[in-house]
């Protein structure tokens, strides 16, 4: 450490200058306080998926808001491959790369599904939170995509190995396949997805006559099979749809089942919407309540309605799209509760394509101003406001004279 001799100022004060060798960079040339912990290299087999756990830190004197935007980008082509802001994500990786971590909590984990050879490259994490922006450029994640194993040469299929869909909702399953280069598929090739555990069940096919009545109209082979596209969709999912599916092509003497690439479909219960905030309401004070649906695919997004509440002053409906393309429906209502609304119910219903679910709350309304009534004062009070009512009868009419629930309904004299 270097030193500079103290200098005596003309006013008699001593000014001491110290040359401090404070570190401003941490390991790997990252700014002090900004660190990222994750694998430096990850390998994934073509068409498969991989999870990349990741955490990061910021200086102790800084904080991140819940609206912070996190993103992973390619260093060579500047594509944003995954982000908490779906609008920033490249179309090339949308729906396959997902930022799974809660960025505001320092979690930058992300996943890759249906990996493609062009996904190979270097990636960097960065965040933006108002004027607080930082790129962990000293840390680079190298993604290596290897060839798929266990498939007959030239016969390959790329799709998710597992997909989950809520009962009554829909899901899209992107899928591509290849076949030997010395063979050609005609435009009349038949493609089909079948259940190997139930041999007579063809869930989806380009030949409608082959499709089971149980899935007809709900399972659709959307891809152009002659172009190597085996994508299909499920709508109005049923519990019995859960199982394993295999893709097969038939085109003259070309017949092949992609048994190495079985797709597992899981059907889960449809979650109820959430109503927030939940708590005590003040009579005469406007309240805002929000009903939020479970995320659903574009083709079966939810429509929200409210029931059980009179005189709703304002209702606003909107949608939020995540980076995977799923739609969350949101409805906001604003109203002013009265004491009469106490213990009444309010129900939010989300209607999807062919199915609905709801959630209810019981309104807990408090008086805006407390009213203290004492039996010795009631006769005086009623006399001076123009009511005369026998005290011994009134006692039986006074109910719930607590601090909050203090409304009294006086009956008319007979």
Class of residue 168 by CB neighbours under 10 A (exposed 0-12, middle 13-18, buried 19+): buried
Q: Would you call 230 helix, strand, or coil by DSSP? A: coil
- For the ranges 28-42, 330-344, 365-379, the lowest mean pLDDT is seen at 365-379
Q: What is the DSSP string of 242-273?
A: -EEEEEEEEETTEEEE-TTS-EEEEEEPPPPP
pTM here is: 0.59
Which CATH number is 156-268 given? Answer: 2.60.40.10
Q: Residue 199: left (phi > 0), alpha (psi -120 to 50), or beta?
A: alpha
Q: Which CATH architecture has domain 274-366?
A: Sandwich (2.60)
Lowest mean pLDDT across 26-30, 54-58, 241-245, 294-298: 26-30
The answer on pLDDT for 404 being more than 80 is: no
What does the pLDDT look like over 231-252, one tens digit per residue? Answer: 999 999 999 999 999 999 999 9
Residue ranges of domains in the chain: 27-146, 156-268, 274-366, 370-414
* Interval 138-187: pLDDT, tens: 999 999 998 876 666 678 888 888 888 999 999 988 899 988 888 889 99
d(CA 153, CA 373): 88
- The per-residue pLDDT for 149 is 65
> 27-146 adopts what CATH topology?
Immunoglobulin-like (2.60.40)
């Amino acid at each position: 450490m270097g030193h500079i001799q103290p200098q005596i100022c003309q006013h008699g004060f001593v000014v001491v200058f110290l040359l401090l060798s404070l570190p401003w960079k941490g390991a790997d040339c990252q700014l002090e306080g900004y660190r990222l912990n994750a694998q430096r290299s990850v390998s994934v087999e073509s068409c498969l998926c991989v999870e990349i756990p990741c955490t990061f830190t910021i200086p102790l004197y800084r904080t991140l808001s819940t609206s912070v935007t996190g993103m992973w980008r390619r260093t060579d082509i500047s594509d944003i491959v995954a982000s908490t802001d779906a609008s920033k994500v490249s179309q090339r990786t949308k729906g396959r790369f997902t930022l799974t971590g809660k960025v505001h909590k320092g979690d930058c984990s992300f996943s890759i599904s249906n990996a493609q050879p062009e996904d190979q490259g270097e990636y960097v994490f960065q965040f933006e939170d108002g004027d607080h922006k930082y790129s962990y450029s000293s840390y680079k994640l190298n993604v290596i995509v290897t060839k798929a194993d266990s498939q007959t040469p030239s016969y390959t299929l790329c799709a998710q190995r597992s997909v989950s869909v809520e009962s009554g909702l829909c899901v899209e399953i992107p899928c591509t396949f290849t076949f030997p280069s010395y063979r050609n598929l005609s435009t009349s090739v038949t493609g089909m997805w079948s259940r190997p555990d139930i041999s007579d069940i063809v869930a989806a096919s380009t030949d409608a006559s082959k499709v089971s009545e149980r899935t007809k109209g709900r399972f659709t082979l959307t891809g152009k099979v002659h172009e190597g596209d085996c994508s299909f969709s499920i709508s109005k999912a049923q519990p019995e749809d859960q199982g394993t599916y295999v893709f097969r092509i038939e085109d003259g003497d070309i017949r092949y089942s992609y048994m190495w690439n079985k797709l597992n479909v899981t059907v889960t219960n449809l979650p109820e919407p959430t109503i927030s905030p939940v708590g005590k309401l003040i009579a005469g004070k406007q309240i805002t309540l929000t009903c939020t649906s479970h995320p659903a695919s574009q083709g079966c997004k939810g429509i929200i309605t409210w029931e059980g509440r009179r005189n709703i002053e304002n209702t606003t409906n909107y949608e939020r799209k995540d980076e995977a393309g799923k739609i969350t429906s949101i409805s906001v209502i604003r109203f002013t509760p009265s004491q009469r609304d106490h213990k009444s119910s309010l129900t939010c219903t989300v209607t999807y394509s062919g199915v609905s679910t709801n959630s209810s709350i019981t309104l807990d309304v408090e008086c805006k101003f407390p009213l203290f009534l004492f039996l010795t004062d009631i006769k005086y009070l009623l006399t001076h406001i123009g009511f005369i009512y026998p005290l011994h009868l009134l006692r039986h009419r006074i109910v719930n004279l607590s601090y909050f629930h203090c409304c009294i309904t006086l009956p008319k004299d007979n």
